[in-house]
Amino acid sequence: MKSRDEIFKEGRKVVKKIIDQAAETARAETDNVPEPGLTGDFTFPVKATLNKGLEGAITGSTGIGYVNGEKGWLLYRGYNIFDLAANCDFEEVIYLLLYGDLPDVHELEAFKKKLIGYRSIPEVVIDVLKKIPTPHTHPMAALRTAISVLGTLDATADDCSVDAEREVAIRLIAQLPGVVAAIARIREHKRLVPQDISCTHACNFLYTMTGESPIDINNISEAIMNVALILHADHGMNNSTFTGIVINSSLTDMYSSIVGAIGSLKGPLHGGANERVLYMLEEIGNINKVEEWFKDARATKRKLMGFGHRVYKAYDPRGRVLKPLAKKLAEDHPDFMKLYDIAEKLDDLVCKKLGKEKRIFPNVDFYSGLVYRSLGIKSAMFTPIFAVSRIVGWTARALEYLQTNRIMRPRAVYTGDLKKKLIPIEKRKK
Ligand code: CMC
């Protein structure tokens, strides 16, 4: 009989082949697109043209990651996302983003041990989660609360030295899967599953969420969760990462920064889109209705969830990976295949129509929900899964900024009166 690790290795091989194929297509289609200007040496002050929503604003420089929106490429510390997703453990990518380069065998082993050592969740956090009303409380609200509680338990939370904050970051990265899994199971009135300390971050997460050994679910499920975590780990100065940095720049504690970042990610224009994509596909319901639905959505100026991006003006590389993985997972499930077919048709229509007109393409959230649903996860948990991964980017970038910290403090143009006369309250009339 094959061991669990042998089965996981086979799954990783299958998944690698799919990613390598997606990467080859992406490179063939986009390699010749010229590099836009946001790379190279940088010093303040900088001249930039700003637009609403801080479009065009530059927060500073970073060595952590780069989104090339013209090409549709994503790099973490110089490594292409396709290479990382095809070849690495999520733990290697955490190390890469936090420390600057990929670990060697010994460094990785020590780092994995450290993460496992930090996995357990204090009982008080579980007690609080059990008191949160379900099902109307969104799991992201519960997650935000859990991190806040974790912060109250850490007597060293206010030590804002880089070393102390990095330690908090690693602990939170290790704990988040267990917290999210607990939220998922409490919502469904299921017993909590003890963490499997012999298992990778991705495997333990799936196991504690679903209660099934990842081998029983599907031989490639561990590999696919590993890839999904890698793909979502960092993404430029996105809304939640920026939120985390802004909060951390006041020299408050890392817990507060992560609570804020979770609040930001929850929104439907950001991480909350993945959940809504599934509702949208379910609403369409049938591949024969896609065209009519799309026409109606355009006529009523409806937002298409999982499409469009502030930076990408090309197909999102993470979507290129998740699309074939969603298809692979759906192959054994007619129900999921029905949803996948609807998604693929909508993807084609949008690319043909809006890709040309407005450079709108599917983003990471369009196919991630299909992947998670096929792994046995409920829609409401999709955005918390995003957080389990993105916490790496949040903390890596907050730590990077902390090293040369200056409080974030922009201004707004005042458009009100300049010399209003104060009228005593008894004389005010409206
Ligand atoms: N459906 C229909 N039209 C769209 C969409 C969409 N999903 N996205 C952009 N547009 C149109 C928009 O109406 C506008 O048209 P016009 O110029 O005629 O007014 C134009 O494209 C520019 O859009 P914008 O809203 O100014 O773009 P933005 O950079 O401010 O917003 C976005 C980016 C991601 C918030 C937006 O594309 C959107 O709301 N998408 C749907 C939600 C979604 O999928 N969010 C996940 C983003 S990726 C993962 C993440 O970061 O979490």
Give the C-alpha separation, 209 to 211, whole Å. Answer: 6
Nearest CA to ligand 1 atom 17: 358
Distances (CA, A) of 290 to 53, 235, 355: 32, 30, 17
Alpha helices by DSSP H, 61-161: 81-87, 90-99, 105-117, 123-131, 139-153
Give CA angle at 238 (343, 56), nearest 5°.
110
Nearest CA to ligand 1 atom 15: 358
Torsion of CA 364, 367, 368, 369, to 10 degrees: 130
Cis amide linkage into residue 268, ω under 30° from 0: no
- The 10s digit of each residue's pLDDT in 328-381 is 999 988 999 999 999 999 999 999 999 989 999 999 999 999 999 999 999 999
Cis amide linkage into residue 103, ω under 30° from 0: no
**Other C-beta atoms within 10 Å of 58: how many?**
14
Residue 216 pLDDT more than 70? Answer: no
* 273 exposure class (CB count in 10 Å sphere: 0-12, 13-18, 19+): buried
Ligand 1 centroid distance, CA of 425 (Å): 45
211: left (phi over 0), alpha (psi -120 to 50) or beta: left
Provide the whole-model pTM.
0.97
Determine the atom of ligand 1 nearest the C-alpha atom of 55: 29
Q: What is the pLDDT of residue 219?
A: 82
Q: Which residues are catalytic?
A: 270, 309, 365
Alpha helices by DSSP H, 266-315: 273-284, 290-299
> Pocket residues for ligand 1 (CB within 6 Å)?
53, 238, 269-271, 273, 303-310, 358, 360, 363-365
Q: What is the pLDDT of residue 231?
A: 98
Ligand 1 centroid distance, CA of 383 (Å): 18
Give the C-alpha separation, 354 to 430, whole Å. Answer: 48
- The 10s digit of each residue's pLDDT in 245-264 is 999 999 999 999 999 999 99
Q: Which two three-digit tokens encode residue 209? A: 């969420």
Ligand 1 centroid distance, CA of 313 (Å): 11
Determine the atom of ligand 1 nearest the C-alpha atom of 265: 52
All structural domains of the chain, each given as residue ranges with its CATH number in brackets, are 4-266+381-402 (1.10.580.10), 275-372 (1.10.230.10)
Determine the atom of ligand 1 nearest the C-alpha atom of 239: 51
What average pLDDT does the chain have? 95
Nearest CA to ligand 1 atom 49: 270
Q: What is the pLDDT of residue 3?
A: 84
Nearest CA to ligand 1 atom 8: 308
Ligand 1 centroid distance, CA of 266 (Å): 16
Give the C-alpha separation, 286 to 333, whole Å. Answer: 16
